[in-house]
Each structure stands twice: as C-alpha cells, then as structure tokens.
Structure 1
Amino acid sequence: MVFRKATEKDLPRIIEMIADDKLGKTRENFQIPLPKEYVEAFQKINTDNNQELIVVENKDAEIIGTLQLTFIQYLTYRGGIRAQIEAVRIRKDKRGLGIGKAMFEWAIERAKEKNAHLLQLTTDKKRPEAIKFYEDLGFVKSHEGMKIHFK
C-alpha cells in the first residue's frame, strides 16, 4: 500500500468513500461534478500545514482508503501537539482485509513523527463495530464528547 497526500483529482474518489456508508448517505452529496463546497474545503485543507488529507493506494494505484489528520497545537501538556484522525474510510469492496488496521498504524507513526503526544478520534455512537475496532487498536474511552450542531 502507498500512503500519499491527496490531490484535487482524488477528490471524487474520497467523497464517494465518505458518502458510502449508513451515516454518510444521510449527510453527503456525492455527484459528478462535485458540489463546489467539497472543492473549496479541499483547497483550505490542502493549504493548511496542520492538515493532512491522505489517500491509500493498492498495488494497481487504485485509491482504496482515505483519512484526514489534523495537528492541533495547544498550551496544555506544556505546549503539546495532539493529532486528530477523522474521515477514515475504506472502499466498500476492500473492507475486512486489514487495510483499516494498516491505515491506523500509519497514522500513529505519522503522529509520532510530528511529535504529537496523543492521537484522538471521535466516532458516532451509532457505529458499534467501529468502536470495537478502535478499542482493539488500543484506543481508550477516556472522555465523553459533546457537540452542538448549528444547522
């Protein structure tokens, strides 16, 4: 597998994977051409040095996975950096093959390279299989997350 920074030409495959699950179908708008909001968001992510949108390719150079890492500088932990992993997706026909585990192993190493002291994630409570997967990788339920949606 090859892990690389996403380019704008990868965006349709990325959005297709993000939209291709039970929750993604309710909140995403995958169509070709892509709605401009996705392109604008990609451009912001791509120019931010604290953001890494990654695609994973197989030996045939097909995109089979994606994830986004955000590095958050803050004052606690003596001015530490925390890494946040989001939007982890694997192409539907490639799930269950160990790709997700390999992606998380890569993300953990990348966070360490950036001197982050931890890697965190949030997951929807409606995804019990994902929660079990994260726990099996060593993630611990340490905090109770809360959100407020504005739309």
Structure 2
Amino acid sequence: MTELTVRRARPADVPAIVALIAADQLGAGRETPDDPVPYLAAFAAIDADANQYLAVAELDGALVGTLQLTYLPGLSHRGGWRAQIEAVRIAEPHRGSGLGSDLIAWAIGQARDRGCRMVQLTSNATRDGAHRFYTRLGFVPSHVGFKLAL
C-alpha cells in the first residue's frame, strides 16, 4: 500500500472536501456542494487563522480524507492548549483500511508538536461506528455536548 500523505488544504481542494462531508447521512441533508461560495468563504477564514489547519489526506495523488484541526488556548489545565479535531471524513472506498487511524495519528502528532496538553473531538450521537473507532484509538467519552442552532 502506498503511504498516506497529509498536507494543508488548498482552495482547489474545497469541492472534494465538501463532497466528502456531504457523503454521509448527516452531511447529505445539510450540505449543498453545488454552491461553492459559502465553502470558499469559510476556507479563506480557516486558512487565514494560524490556529486552524484544514488537512487533506492523499493516496497516490487522490484526495481520500480530510479533517480540521483547531488549536484552542485556555486557562484550565494550567493554561494548556488543546487541539480540537473536527469533520473527519474518509472516502467510502477507503473506510476500514486504516487510513482514518493514520489521519488521526497525524493530527495527534501535530498537537504534540504544537505543545497541546490534550486532543479532543466531538462525534454526533448517532455515529455509533465512529464512537467505536475513536474509543479504539484511545479517546475516552468524557463529556456531554450541547448545541443551540442560531
């Protein structure tokens, strides 16, 4: 198997990233990949922020995965930084191949290199498979999350 390459996303990657996000049960009803304008605006904001890293994973030059890594300063944990992993997606043909584990391991390594004290993530309550995946990787379900749509 060819080695996975992880790099910072570029504007030209946005359609493929949005397609990955829209290719599951939650994204299918929420995303509109045919209208790139809001996604390109969001990409520009993410790319301009030093505490954001929108990553893409490539295999043989093909985009096969993505995640967003956000670095959060805080006063708790003795002023320790934490890294938040969001929007993890692996293309359907590659799920179960180990690429997701490799991508998460990459993100954890980036957090360590940046001096973060912890890595955290959220996962929709309906994603039982994702919960098993994250638990296998050593993540502990420790909090209950709440959202308020605006």
Task: Please state which band the TM-score falls in when normalised by the shorter chain.
Answer: over 0.9
Q: 1:82 aligns to what?
A: 82
1:11 to 9, 14, 25: 14
Provide the C-alpha distance between the structure 2 equivalents of 1:68 and 1:101, rounded to a whole number of angstroms. Answer: 15
Offset of residue 78 of structure 1: 1.7
- List alignment gaps of at least 5 residues for structure 1: none
Aligned residue type for 1:141:
P
Provide the C-alpha distance between the structure 2 equivalents of 1:30 and 1:8, rounded to a whole number of angstroms. Answer: 14
Instruction: Out of 15-24 and 34-43, give the one that drifted further.
Output: 34-43
Q: What TM-score, normalized to structure 1?
A: 0.95
Offset of residue 52 of structure 1: 0.1
Q: 1:62 aligns to what?
A: 62
Q: 1:46 aligns to what?
A: 47
Offset of residue 145 of structure 1: 1.1
Provide the C-alpha distance between the structure 1 equivalents of 2:137 and 2:91, rounded to a whole number of angstroms. Answer: 20
Query: What SS class does the counterpart of residue 6 from structure 2 fall into?
Result: strand
Aligned residue type for 2:111:
A
Q: How does 1:64-143 map to 2 (within 5 A)?
A: 64-143=64-143
Aligned residue type for 1:4:
R
Contact 2:52–2:71 (CA<8 Å) still a contact in 1? Answer: yes
Offset of residue 35 of structure 1: 2.8
Query: What SS class does the counterpart of residue 25 from structure 2 fall into?
Result: coil
Q: What TM-score, normalized to structure 2?
A: 0.95
Contact 2:66–2:88 (CA<8 Å) still a contact in 1? Answer: yes
